[in-house]
Amino acid sequence: MDYKKHITEKLNIEGLDKNQLYGFIETPPNTDMGDFALPCFKLAKIMRRPPVKIAEDLANGFIADEFISDCTAVNGYLNFKINRDGYAFSLLKEVLSLGDKYGSDNVGAGKTVCIDYSSINIAKPFHIGHLSTTVIGSALCKIFKFLGYKVVGINHLGDYGTQFGKLIVAFKRWSSEEAVLKDRLKELTRIYVKYHDEAKLDPSMDDEARHYFKLIEDGDKESNKLFELFKKITLEEVDKIYKLLNVTFDSYAGESFYNDKMAPVVSELKDKGLIKISDGASIVDLEEYGMPPCLILKSDGSTLYATRDIAAAVYRKNTYDFDKCLYVVAYQQNLHFKQFFKVLELMGKEWAKDMVHVAYGMVSLESGSMSTRSGNVVLLEDVLNTTIEKAYKVIEEKNPDLADKEKVAKAVGTGAVIFGALCNNKIKDIVFSYDRVLSFEGETCPYVQYTVARCNSVIAKCGQLGDYNGVQMNADEYEVISVLGKFSDVVKASAEKYEPSYVTRYALDLATAFNKFYIGCKIACEDENLKNFRLAITKAVKITLTNALTLLGIDTVEQM
């Protein structure tokens, strides 16, 4: 039952179409006043009356029915009370029958969204700085899919640049295939750091590096073989982390993929008169738009990060015909995205308006926490292993007989890290604390996962769900029902604002409402009718929490 739709059908407002009216109807944060509300100031322009008067007139003309029991005007708002029994009954039926589809929608049917996220750099360590892009991007992929969109998840690999020439020089001097295969990314980092130390003393190394990079570009067999080795090692290493975080991609087309796709773009820029030469370099002047110029070609003719991004955007449009193309990249790159989006617009690409930079804040580790350091970066793998180990220790202490301890520790440990990164508005900087994310109290993943496990034990205890009807609901029960009913709106809003944290906050709200109900109401009670009603609530909460966590890439556990 779509109450908002029902309300729009019952209100006739001249000059306002039903879809618009639908969009105006809100669900108030506090259900004491009503279950739905229409802020009448939004109608003042069309109806040419003050909001208070509009609300009164509409309330007077409203006739209650089996779904809406009451409609009152309060301070320019029209508040609707629904027939709560009827609502609870139909909602629970809907959640239980839809199961893992509950909350999904087909608003995205026929539309495609490209999501560029994680986008790691080859031969560089996968550190805590990559956590946000990876988990925000992955959650957005799952959320958009849930809403019926076709999603193309893209890992725009950083696999191009002189650093690969440097790496070959370093490899030839201080490493070997065996060493790289054995110590993997650690070995690549070691020789890369060493290169920088040594090149300070011997600048001729940089010429050698440029030479090798040129060889890679020219298709030299041996240099490319080494480059492929570095790439393979990096991808194998990050894949372990992607597996832990339930992250997948549809494309790994990285920067080097666009090597042969930039020339046409550069000619187009020239043909359209957008290129200026400045100190020998080709640029697009953006002064008029209050930005520094966008660099297209260096004076030696080589391309840049922005050149590749412009070519990639054109390629994505041609290949996927996206409705939106998102870039989940830290706010440090704000200018880069503004610049190249502007260049696309100046090229006359009407779809430049569909490009979105989904910016997020920084993650740092609480000072003083224990962390394995390689160079001076904190590896994401170490963070995940630490939380998994810590989760395992807690299980050993509190519930040593638990079945499948390792699996539970993995779900709790990785879940804590993902949830911690998705808990706040994405633009905020985060200070990561092991103790905080692993706590069972407060706004944490273990708290939500524990609530799911609690639902499970209630379900196991109560047995088969039987029929129920006509229950006089108390406030705790109704609060759970009311939060349950908001899920699909939350999912839609999180997609609209590119904000997975809405889903995270929602999971916390639902867990809190359920735990209050669990403490306040005996579920396995004598009264069969009441027991079945409460059991249905419990099952619906389990389904909805599981769906919410799944959208975030977090596993649930039966017991913990």
Backbone φ, ψ for residue 251 (5° rounding): -150, 140
Going by C-alpha positions, the residue among 161, 90, 65 that lies closest to residue 122 is 161
Residue 476 touching ligand ARG (CB under 6 A)? no
In the chain, the amino acid numbered 380 is L
Specify whether the CB–CB gap between 546 and 448 falls below 8 A: no
Residue 309 touching ligand ARG (CB under 6 A)? yes
475: CB partners within 8 A, 6+ apart: none
Backbone φ, ψ for residue 132 (5° rounding): -60, -50
Specify whether the CB–CB gap between 559 and 403 falls below 8 A: yes
Which of residues 238 and 537 has its CB atom nearest to ligand ARG in the complex? 238
Going by C-alpha positions, the residue among 531, 481, 511 that lies closest to residue 88 is 481
Q: What is the DSSP string of 434-454?
A: HHHHH-SSSS-HHHHHHHHHH
Binding mask 327-356 for ligand ARG (x = CB under 6 A): x-x---------------------------
Specify whether the CB–CB gap between 187 and 143 falls below 8 A: no
Q: Which stretch, 75-83, 115-123, 257-265, 295-303, contacts ligand ARG (CB under 6 A)?
A: 115-123
Pairing of strands 77-82, 68-74: antiparallel
The nearest distance, CB 49 to ligand ARG, in angstroms, is: 51
Binding mask 517-546 for ligand ARG (x = CB under 6 A): ------------------------------
Which of residues 87 and 327 has its CB atom nearest to ligand ARG in the complex? 327
Q: How many residues bind ligand ARG (CB under 6 A)?
A: 8
The nearest distance, CB 195 to ligand ARG, in angstroms, is: 19
Buried b (16+ CB within 10 A) or exposed e, 36-63: bbbbbebbbeebeeebbebbbebbeebe
Cα separation values, 39 from 56, 78, 321, Å: 12, 7, 38
Which of residues 169 and 253 has its CB atom nearest to ligand ARG in the complex? 253
Cα separation values, 538 from 233, 378, 554, Å: 46, 40, 20
Which of residues 139 and 329 has its CB atom nearest to ligand ARG in the complex? 329
SS3 category, 357: strand
The nearest distance, CB 495 to ligand ARG, in angstroms, is: 20
SS3 category, 273: coil
Residue 31 touching ligand ARG (CB under 6 A)? no
Which of residues 88 and 310 has its CB atom nearest to ligand ARG in the complex? 310
Q: Which stretch, 13-21, 75-83, 116-124, 550-558, contacts ligand ARG (CB under 6 A)?
A: 116-124
The nearest distance, CB 307 to ligand ARG, in angstroms, is: 11
CA distance 462 to 105: 32
What tokens appear for 253 in the block? 């087309």
Which of residues 58 and 216 has its CB atom nearest to ligand ARG in the complex? 216
Q: Which stretch, 113-121, 392-400, 488-496, 498-506, contacts ligand ARG (CB under 6 A)?
A: 113-121
Residue 322 touching ligand ARG (CB under 6 A)? no
SS3 category, 312: helix
Residue 163 touching ligand ARG (CB under 6 A)? no
Residue 116 touching ligand ARG (CB under 6 A)? yes
Which of residues 121 and 439 has its CB atom nearest to ligand ARG in the complex? 121
Residue 127 touching ligand ARG (CB under 6 A)? no
The nearest distance, CB 308 to ligand ARG, in angstroms, is: 8
Known catalytic residues are 124, 127, 130
Residue 121 touching ligand ARG (CB under 6 A)? yes
Among 4, 42, 127, 156, the residue binding ligand ARG under the rule CB under 6 A is 156
Backbone φ, ψ for residue 427 (5° rounding): -75, -15
Residue 158 touching ligand ARG (CB under 6 A)? yes
Where do contacts with ligand ARG occur on this chain (CB under 6 A)?
A: 116, 119, 121, 156, 158, 309, 327, 329
